[in-house]
Amino acid sequence: MQKIGIRYEDKYVMERRVPLVPAHVKELIAKGLEFEVVKSAKRIFKDYEFAEAGATLVDEVTDSNLVLGVKEMPIDFFQKNKTYIFFSHTIKGQSYNMPLLKNMMDQKINLIEYERIVDEKGRRLIFFGRFAGLAGMINSLWSLGQRYRELGIETPFLKIQQTHHYNSLEEAKEVISDVGKEIAKNGLPEQISPLTFAVTGYGNVSNGAQEILELLPVVELSPEELLTLETSGVISKHEIYKVVFKEKDLSKPKDLNEKFELQEYYDHPEKFEDQFEQYIPYISCLMNCMYWDERYPRIVTKDYLEQLYKKGILKLTVIGDVTCDPDGSIECTHKGTEIEDPVFVYNPFTHKPTMGFKGDGLLVMAVDILPSELPRESSQTFSDALIGFIPEIAGADFNASFKELALPYPIKKALILHNGTLTPDYEYMKDYLT
């Protein structure tokens, strides 16, 4: 009988998600698998629920050959020749996790990365992204209300709380819908009108953010319409304006004679430069929901923010950096924040952050584990997608050569390490290990 371990999440105090919910553990046990679950007082699904499902509660993973987690596991956690599935945050060559990857290689580990479980068209199959967008937008609306209050402006957004204070997603949605009705009826203060939201990206994260925003009285504009909104004569304080930015809106070819081609942008991002900065003076809240790595242009730089503030252009009040790449597409996101300390005010003149809502500058919400603010719903959806792959992963013979290794296509595609060796799709990561 194959034994599977579910570990205790210890990277963050408020990480409460699980990769498999108790009901799915029960299904898999009925199919002949065995589970050991490390005890956890904070996990959204309680220990007794896993015990009732038939799992064995343990203080630490013992003899499971397959170990499931959510976030990064401690560098000294791994046992030789075993298989681990989690978000390793290594595929971009993240420097802070290269020692982790090196240790897994030394331990001859099989590493399956959730982020790379994709179908034949490259579409992700297992993800928390929608819930990052949902929680990110709820948090950003809450942040907007709190920050405006610090600036002496009272808004209906003060009725919104940080996501984790709600018992369910539906409860949060009801509150935000009520805020939307109040805005539609009574309007927003003149000094913040027109209230504009920019959303970067159009994938799962962006769709989750927009799902929340659409509970308000939203009018969608094109990026071009945003530039002329304030002089259009059609502004209403009873409406909120949303603009979704795609790649062609964010970047342009450095060669002015070239047209924007999406595939060229993906293949040769070094040939492109940022053009998003022209929109920033017209944005109240920026929701950053797109994929980014260091090959691509930044969309908000520290230098630009300093220039903006020197000119006295202060409309941009909140950045909800759901993407949360430290020093990344939003350069002033110095680090991911924690649920219990979620925001900071970035001062464009000193280039320094101050945690909390007070201070000079603009507010950044950059919680690194946003889906854990909706732990039950996000775990259920994630588990729904993962359960079907578990029997074949647990039954695979990882001693076989990579070519002969019998795994479903999406899982084999996500296998970064096979017995400690980088698989063909991930050999590029060698360059980050030196």
pLDDT value for 2: 87
Q: How many CB atoms are closer than 10 A to CB 248?
A: 14
Residue 371: its pLDDT value, please? 95
pLDDT digits 0-9 by tens, 111-155: 999 999 999 998 899 988 999 999 999 999 999 999 999 999 999
Q: Is 143 left (phi over 0), alpha (psi -120 to 50) or beta?
A: alpha
What digits encode the pLDDT tens for the residues 254-296? 998 999 999 999 999 999 999 999 999 999 999 999 999 889 9
Asked if residue 32 lies in contact with residue 42, where contact means CB atoms within 8 angstroms, the answer is no
Q: Letter for the amino acid at 370?
A: L
Run of H or E including 102: helix 98-106
CA-based nearest residue to 315, from 229, 428, 431, 404: 229
Helix (H) or strand (E) holding 321: strand 318-321
The arithmetic mean of pLDDT across residues 196-215, rounded, is 97
Domains and CATH numbers, the chain: 3-108+375-424 (3.40.50.720), 129-373 (3.40.50.720)
H-run or E-run covering 195: strand 195-200
Task: Determine whether 37 is exposed, middle or buried from the number of CB atoms within 10 Å of its CB (0-12, 13-18, 19+).
Answer: buried
Contact assessment for residue 382 and residue 66, using Cβ atoms and an 8 Å cutoff: no
Question: Quick one: pLDDT at residue 1?
Answer: 59
pLDDT value at residue 299: 96
Flag whether pLDDT at 384 surpasses 80: yes
Query: Which positions ≥6 away from 121 have C-beta within 8 Å?
Result: none
Residues 233, 234, 238: CA angle, nearest 5 degrees: 130
Whether the CB-CB separation of 170 and 241 falls below 8 Å is answered with no
Residue 110 is predicted with a pLDDT of 97
Q: How many residues does the chain have?
A: 434
Q: Is the pLDDT of residue 362 over 70?
A: yes
pLDDT tens sequence across 71-106: 999 998 999 999 999 999 999 888 889 999 999 999
- Structure confidence by residue, pLDDT tens digits, 287-316: 999 999 889 999 999 999 999 999 999 999
Whole-structure pTM value:
0.90
pLDDT of residue 232: 87
Mean pLDDT across the chain: 95
pLDDT at position 297, please?
Answer: 94
**Residue 432 in tokens:** 């980050």
Let me know: does 81 contact 64? Beta carbons within 8 Å.
Answer: no
Q: What is the spatial distance between Cα 322 and Cα 129, in angstroms, rounded to a whole number?
A: 9
* Cis status, amide bond into 194, omega within 30 of 0: yes
pLDDT at 137: 98
Residue 33 has pLDDT above 70, yes or no: yes
Q: Which residues contact 386 (CB under 8 A, 6 or more apart)?
A: 19, 20, 24, 126
